[in-house]
Amino acid sequence: MFRLETDRALIEAFRPRDRRVIEMPENVMFPLFVRDYLAWTETSGARVYLVFAAPVSRKPIGIIFRRESQDSGVGTSRICEWCHSYGSSSEVGLLTTDVNSKRRVGVHLCLDLRCKEKLEDAADRAGRHPIEILKQLQERMFRFAHEALGIEAQPTSDRAVVP
């Protein structure tokens, strides 16, 4: 869980290169408490925004994904690399983000980033508590941010963090 005090704090969760294209989510009031992550889609549907907390430091990290054009593969099913849910090409597809001006990376995800809802539903149906599954989801999000974008999880204070 993390807290965003102002819209400025939300904007600063994103990399400086991405801040100029942010379309703020509708009906958001500050301070904003975020339990697992916050995701929203741009009005045009071209971009999907994600804000989640880094492990240990709980520092908010923002990523702006672009939806790549969907193929017309009727009957094509795919799997989300984060929540492992299956869906048609209109539900799971390639989301990309710029690493720099010359390099872009992508990952197959739920196009609306509603992975949390799918995982909670699956846990409810199995009679399990979703806390461990949601922790794994956040770890996958951070692994992508770290490995693909070079984002580090830096503690917010100078105190030593004891696991």
35 is in which domain, residue-wise?
2-149
Flag whether 59 is in a domain: yes
Residue 143 backbone phi and psi in degrees, to 5:
-60, -45
pTM of the model: 0.89
User: Domain for residue 32, yes or no?
Assistant: yes
CB distance 42 to 25 below 8 Å: no
Residue 110 lies in a domain: yes
Considering the domain boundaries, does residue 87 fall inside one?
Answer: yes
Residue 104, token pair as written in the block: 């872009």
CB-based contact 30:56 (threshold 8 Å): no
Q: What is the pLDDT of residue 125?
A: 94
Q: Quote the CA–CA distance of 154 and 151 in Å, as a whole number.
A: 9
For 50, other C-beta atoms within 10 Å of its C-beta total 23
Residue 155 falls within a domain, yes or no? Answer: no
Whether residue 158 lies inside any domain: the answer is no
Q: Is 82 part of any domain? A: yes
Number of domains in the chain: 1
The tens digit of pLDDT for each residue in 77-135 reads 899 999 999 999 889 999 999 999 999 999 999 999 999 999 999 999 999 999 999 99
77 belongs to a structural domain: yes
First to last CA, the chain: 17
What are the tens digits of pLDDT across the range 26-72?
A: 999 999 999 999 999 998 889 999 999 998 888 999 999 999 876 55
